Structure 1
């Protein structure tokens, strides 16, 4: 085994306070006024040529996929961090970097064919006060240096008269449009009208998906499509609501009160944390942290159809076409049938790669009692997550399909064939993380909390272990040809 130990030259420092904390101290008012001005970053940013990888353990050099690692700093709990991305060469040196004028953790960025980035981050923390985890207010497309060539502020999105924030994940589509996960603030009155018992809070949040068409020429945007969780609920508590029914009779809809014991009291019921798109199927894949499931929804619809209930494999609509990982969520299974626990990064294997069309799911396998001990956010919570123990795993599945429709088995739950399964006693990622297929059949795994990326072969052997310079939600690897334009 070859081992390289490289010195860590990048210090990525988490800011000490959030806006909520500012409000509680004597200088809160001054701090809030300062939030509208550009932040003075105290983080040391690496220069091209700096060796920043803390450690590289190359176990199987002949099986390594050669390429550049794309590393974007992210931490779902310590959210006041520099929104910073870099490309690292085989020795862990910075080959390219993208500067930033945003903060915010809990998400990744995506390298575009132009050499720029699609990223999300925070510009005004006042707008995000009281929002759920990993909320952001800004979506950007950048040039090769990280300078924004197009920017959208969530304040400028108007849907149903409700406040919108971005969160966790987004995706560039083949047609140049952008898919992004959103929180939509819902009043208790609106929630109650939908049969949703929202607890005692003043606001609850309905997850959703926006498709945005950016215009780089005039910096404008158009919302061309969206999907809302609240439109696709089934519930058995409010008999007067139109969506009242038997949960088990409607696997295509989502029980708004599952799980029964979830806290904080129903404020955000879905916690979607990953999104992917399959152009051939024209379908969207999302991961729900709370339901321990992945969901597939139809994208070949109008906005009106996406709000309707004609889906579920029976026609165009926004109901779930497929769901997998926890049949108890639709009353067709029990705890023993649950496969996922707080998973992240569900994605279709891209065309041209081994396993194309299969779904990879990065299953954190973090038990809920551990999550409760960590808390809801801030530097203390970010430190506490590093003490958690467990074993994460990765599932590659192929959903059962008949005549284009996802199939349920005899037990009444959606079926999928297990294609590949991986776990290692020394690999645990309590929060975030990802799994991405490489062209040679290897899979790139990210442990956000441990600041680790492992590349593993199809037989399960660990090819290389990287100990990185910062937490990363999802790391990617690109061939020299794919990033050649960055060095022109």
Structure 2
């Protein structure tokens, strides 16, 4: 009997070691995060679905704080730290991953047919600022690169984010170099090379740039009265103060990154582009109905303002407006809501200087007006913060089918919170999370992947 028991013990030990070996082969190397962690982390609390079995690829630790109120959706995860784009479920099980040819630069967005539009780094990025890119790709579910567009030189480079338009074209953000002499000619307080923002629209069928906008053509300054763009900043909220960031001193001057836009969103109903401008702690709204020629000037387009800002919000201090409340302290992902929520927007205010982030849901005005010395800020419909919610970079928020909000905290992972501000689920992993996008299990994007 003792021999038989020892035999059974040996068999069980062999099976357990084999299962552990498989789990290590399939999963990420979690030992870098916690060296003494010898097992896949088990979800904390109760959960509506069975817990992952040993051998499944689990990406981190989950907490089901109120399982009955958790939305059972899938998440497209952009992990900028590990340069990974994948789909996981609420148990943090890996369901699908795209093998990227280059580093993330930062956004990877899932299209209805299962392909992804990815903003990636070029092989040798020329403008080395955080969020650098230089390459756009459309990648199939089988990892086939179906389209590649390179826009990377010492003069201009795509970065951070891109979006597919309803007409099939793609808009992307660009840093474009302006020399120290051009900076001085533009009334800038610092005579160094600058990298202001531009936007290009590409036809992927021809790789032709069919529309563009340049912030450099819509500047004002009150520093040097000998320059043509000298004026009273507060009188012209439609223009961009070239010296706002240099005045504050809150930027790495050696980079010349005076705006650092980090996200782009398109409103198909009103043909508008929303640009998140991190160093201004603002969102700028542009009229996409203009021609490229009209976008260089101050008239034309559906709003009659050419390429000037037709609306801006988040930080009235950026244009010396004494009215209105500043709410953003660095910001990411102006997420325009759709359908019945058209006109609403979710956004992540990083809260630099406070070490506490806030998610806002805003109601944009029916008529986008931008008036000097007036409160131009949108109405706050809902907000969420927590003393443990803080990421100084990246991050965002998306709505869920059950009404909850999924929050990406870049340095941590994900939170799911109810409208009553109850935290019902959390995920923590070893990555650096640019964004998370939610998809219902029956969504066409998920069905196209066969999940």
Structure 2 equivalent of residue 169 of structure 1: 161
Of residues 181, 198, 211 in structure 2, which corresponds to 1:225? 211
Q: 1:314 Cα shift?
A: 5.5
1:236 partnered with 2:197: no
More divergent stretch after superposition (461-470 vs 427-436): 461-470
Aligned residues: 401
CA shift digits 1:189-224 (9 cap, x unpaired): 33333333442x3x2111111111102xxxx41111
TM score, norm. by length of structure 1: 0.77
Structure 2 equivalent of residue 214 of structure 1: 204
1:145 partnered with 2:142: yes
Misfit runs of 4+, over 4 Å:
311-314
Structure 2 equivalent of residue 184 of structure 1: 176
Q: Return closer, same or farther for 1:144/1:313 CA change in 2, 3 Å cut-off.
A: closer
CA distance in 2, matches of 1:264, 1:391: 22
1:424 partnered with 2:392: no
| Structure 1 stretches lacking a partner, 5+ long | 1-5, 15-48, 76-80, 157-161, 368-388
Q: 1:316 Cα shift?
A: 4.1
Structure 1 equivalent of residue 71 of structure 2: 65
CA distance in 2, matches of 1:13, 1:241: 58
CA shift digits 1:84-109 (9 cap, x unpaired): 2111123222111111111245x120
CA distance in 2, matches of 1:179, 1:442: 29
CA distance in 2, matches of 1:11, 1:278: 40
1:293 partnered with 2:255: no
1:11 partnered with 2:11: no
Q: 1:407 Cα shift?
A: 5.5
1:303 partnered with 2:266: no
Q: 1:315 Cα shift?
A: 0.7
1:167 is paired with a residue of what secondary structure?
strand
Structure 1 equivalent of residue 238 of structure 2: 252
1:328 is paired with a residue of what secondary structure?
helix
Of residues 407, 428, 442 in structure 2, which corresponds to 1:481? 442
CA distance in 2, matches of 1:309, 1:440: 44
Q: 1:441 Cα shift?
A: 1.6
CA distance in 2, matches of 1:464, 1:172: 31
Q: Return closer, same or farther for 1:256/1:312 CA change in 2, 3 Å cut-off.
A: farther
Higher relative contact order (CA 8 A, sep 6+): 1
Contact kept in structure 1, 2:291 and 2:301, CA below 8 Å? no
CA shift digits 1:380-414 (9 cap, x unpaired): xxxxxxxxx8221111111333xx332559x5231
Q: Return closer, same or farther for 1:421/1:85 CA change in 2, 3 Å cut-off.
A: same
More divergent stretch after superposition (287-296 vs 343-352): 343-352
Contact kept in structure 2, 1:52 and 1:92, CA below 8 Å? yes
Of residues 387, 394, 397 in structure 1, which corresponds to 2:359? 394
- 1:320-339 maps to which residues of 2 (within 5 A)? 320-333=309-322, 337-339=325-327
CA distance in 2, matches of 1:62, 1:173: 37
Q: 1:11 Cα shift?
A: 3.3
Contact kept in structure 1, 2:158 and 2:175, CA below 8 Å? yes
Q: Which has the larger radius of gyration?
A: 2
Q: Return closer, same or farther for 1:341/1:12 CA change in 2, 3 Å cut-off.
A: farther
Structure 2 equivalent of residue 349 of structure 1: 337
Structure 2 equivalent of residue 3 of structure 1: none
Structure 1 equivalent of residue 9 of structure 2: none
Contact kept in structure 2, 1:108 and 1:472, CA below 8 Å? no
Contact kept in structure 2, 1:117 and 1:143, CA below 8 Å? yes
Structure 1 equivalent of residue 416 of structure 2: 455
Q: Return closer, same or farther for 1:112/1:486 CA change in 2, 3 Å cut-off.
A: same
Structure 2 equivalent of residue 443 of structure 1: 405
Q: 1:322 Cα shift?
A: 1.1
Q: Return closer, same or farther for 1:89/1:195 CA change in 2, 3 Å cut-off.
A: same
Q: 1:275 Cα shift?
A: 0.9
CA shift digits 1:55-87 (9 cap, x unpaired): 111122222222211112114xxxxx53x2111
| Structure 2 stretches lacking a partner, 5+ long | 1-22, 33-54
Structure 1 equivalent of residue 46 of structure 2: none
Structure 1 equivalent of residue 48 of structure 2: none
Contact kept in structure 1, 2:399 and 2:406, CA below 8 Å? yes
Structure 1 equivalent of residue 13 of structure 2: none
CA distance in 2, matches of 1:356, 1:276: 13
